[in-house]
Amino acid sequence: MFNKILIANRGEIALRIIRACHELGVSTVAVYSEIDELSLHVRFADEAICVGPPPGNMSYMNVPQIISAAEVTNADAIHPGYGFLAENSRFADVCEDHDITFIGPSAEVMSRMGDKSVAKETMMNADVPVIPGSEGKVETAEDAKKIASDIGLPVIIKAAAGGGGRGMRVVKEMEDLENYFAMARSESQAAFDSPDLYVEKFIEQPRHVEVQLLGDSFGEVVALGERECSIQRRHQKLIEESPSPAVDEELRAKMCNAAVRGAKEVGYESAGTIEFLLDAEKNFYFMEMNTRIQVEHPVTEMVVGIDLIKEQIRVAAGGKVAPWMKNFKLRGHSIECRVNAEDPEHGFRPSPGEITSFHMPGGMGMRVDTHAYAGYTIPPTYDSMIGKIISHGRDRREAIDRMQRALEETVIEGIKTTIPFQQQVLADERFISGNFDTKFLENFTFQPEGI
Ligand code: MV4
């Protein structure tokens, strides 16, 4: 096991990783920006080093500073969390050059999965279902047109270097294709410094269902069930759950087996996720692989009873995926609400500032992962997520009831949060029925309070 891990992150995920380290008997180094001096991860860690001014690229993503912090504190590994440097293959390379273990997959696997078109080809080779479309990249609008007439409209043009919903264009009429292709190309060039595009059939109103994976350095990979992530707004997830209400045992076995085949094909080590689109007929298709621990990992932890971050650290230290994990027993149902410092009454605009009053829920089947506290000031500089409220119940109904009860108990004053919005979603008949897709929030109207 490692002696000391540096956590190259902030907020709730930094705390989450510090907790796992301390249970493993590993000491911890926090890094923080000048604006985060009073943040909880600085207090929870055994040591803390300031790595620069507030902007992420000058501190949490400042590679020389992070590496220096690891060297002066003698850390033997770096956990990147999610966001910041988590999917930066060059950073993983630099860690290796400095004899520091990057807690994640190899730099090579990260860069192969980072190219969404290469990732798709890899999955095809492993017999993972993919969405019909171009074989690899599409060079010209003419080629895109040929593909579109073969597979039929609508099609979607995606940036190979994109992901998470950035750099996409849906084409419904052939006459739009040429323009949209050019727009997608220049957007991709501007946003990702890459002109590479690929084309596939557009799946209308899919669900987003993802499979949690854990791989070790001996080539073993286990799938730990799925998460339902269709409740999202502008590609930001707001509520996640496990298991998915759309997935029965038979479909789960198929999706998990496909995900394991895909991960073995790439030689995946560490915790990771394969995202699938599930169409109305319950066909599933590979969409992307996420080579990091994700925000919503706790819902899986609650239903499989495995600490994913501890296991991720164990496999990075050369440990094995335990054989019993293959036969994990799904226990009950778990739901997560992301608490964002945003105002749902005004288009979810950020709502940073001082939290004047703060009370988190508790009781049976309740978990809260947060770095916030009464008196904490949320800086305007970073992601607006300030915590996650996670419920667990015997079944989906109990997990929903428990979440409703918990959100009712929660007090956060001084800033606006997404909680009132989530309370209304949880009370919505279509949400309760479990019969929804990724368009759910587009068609959902929030009723401002006091009306
Ligand atoms: C799609 C799609 C429909 N058909 N691809 C959005 C995020 C990025 N990972 C890929 N995305 C999509 N790809 C095909 N061929 C619809 C989406 C999509 C979506 C996917 C998951 C969750 C929410 C979404 C919202 C809009 C579009």
165: CB partners within 8 A, 6+ apart: 234, 235
Q: Is the pLDDT of residue 415 over 80?
A: yes
* Interval between CA 228 and ligand 1 midpoint (Å): 14
241: CB partners within 8 A, 6+ apart: 227, 228, 299, 333, 334, 335, 336, 396, 399
What are the structure tokens assigned to 358, written together? 């703060």
Task: Please state, rounded to an integer, the average pLDDT across all residues of the chain.
Answer: 97
Instruction: Indicate the pLDDT class of residue 450, thresholds 50, 70 and 90.
Output: low
Based on C-alpha coordinates, what's the Rg of the chain?
Answer: 22
Q: What number does the ligand 1 atom closest to the CA of 230 have? A: 22
Question: Which of 236, 142, 156 minimizes the C-alpha distance to 199?
Answer: 156
| 380 pocket-lining for ligand 1 (C-beta < 6 Å) | no
* Interval between CA 331 and ligand 1 midpoint (Å): 29
| 199 pocket-lining for ligand 1 (C-beta < 6 Å) | no
| 448 pocket-lining for ligand 1 (C-beta < 6 Å) | no
| 157 pocket-lining for ligand 1 (C-beta < 6 Å) | no
- Which residue of 151, 208, 240 sits with most ligand 1 atoms within 8 Å of its CB, as the best mutation to test the pocket? 208
pTM over 0.85: yes
| 240 pocket-lining for ligand 1 (C-beta < 6 Å) | no
% residues pLDDT > 90 (the chain): 98
| 231 pocket-lining for ligand 1 (C-beta < 6 Å) | no
Backbone angles phi and psi of 142, in degrees to 5: -60, -45
Mean pLDDT value of segment 400-417? 98
| 440 pocket-lining for ligand 1 (C-beta < 6 Å) | no
Query: How many other CB atoms sit within 10 Å of the CB of residue 325?
Result: 16
> Which structural domains are found in the chain, ordered by start?
4-103 (3.40.50.20), 132-201 (3.30.1490.20), 207-443 (3.30.470.20)
| 155 pocket-lining for ligand 1 (C-beta < 6 Å) | no
HEC profile for the chain?
A: CCCEEEECCCHHHHHHHHHHHHHCCCEEEEEEEHHHCCCHHHHHCCEEEEEECCCHHHCCCCHHHHHHHHHHHCCCEEECCCCCCCCCHHHHHHHHHCCCEECCCCHHHHHHHHCHHHHHHHHHHCCCCECCECCCCECCHHHHHHHHHHHCCCEEEEEEEEECCEEEEEECCHHHHHHHHHHHHHHHHHHHCCCCEEEEECCCCCEEEEEEEEECCCCCEEEEEEEEEEEEECCEEEEEEECCCCCCHHHHHHHHHHHHHHHHHHCCCEEEEEEEEECCCCCEEEEEEECCCCCCHHHHHHHHCCCHHHHHHHHHCCCCCCHHHHHCCCCCEEEEEEEECEEHHHCCEECCEECCEEECCCCCCEEEEECCCCCCEECCCCCCEEEEEEEEECCHHHHHHHHHHHHHHCEEECCCCCHHHHHHHHHCHHHHHCCCCCCHHHHCCCCCCCC
Q: What is the pLDDT of residue 164?
A: 75
Q: Is the pLDDT of residue 167 over 90?
A: no
Q: What is the pLDDT of residue 451?
A: 59
Q: Is the pLDDT of residue 165 over 80?
A: no
Report which protein residue has its CA nearest ligand 1's atom 15: 202
Cis link prior to 154 (omega < 30° from 0)? yes
92: CB partners within 8 A, 6+ apart: 102, 104, 105, 106, 107, 110
Mean pLDDT value of segment 343-365? 98
Question: Which of 61, 38, 62 minimizes the C-alpha distance to 48?
Answer: 38
Mean pLDDT value of segment 335-356? 98
Q: Is 292 one of the catalytic residues?
A: yes
Q: What number does the ligand 1 atom closest to the CA of 288 have? A: 9
* Interval between CA 278 and ligand 1 midpoint (Å): 10
The pLDDT tens digits for 54-95 are 999 999 999 999 999 999 999 999 999 999 999 999 999 999
Q: Is the pLDDT of residue 333 over 80?
A: yes
Mean pLDDT value of segment 418-431? 98
Mean pLDDT value of segment 257-284? 98
Q: Is the pLDDT of residue 113 over 70?
A: yes
Mean pLDDT value of segment 282-311? 98
* Interval between CA 327 and ligand 1 midpoint (Å): 31
Q: What number does the ligand 1 atom closest to the CA of 203 have? A: 4
Query: Of 227, 292, 314, 367, which is the active-site residue?
Result: 292
Report which protein residue has its CA nearest ligand 1's atom 23: 438
* Interval between CA 227 and ligand 1 midpoint (Å): 16
Q: Is the pLDDT of residue 192 over 80?
A: yes
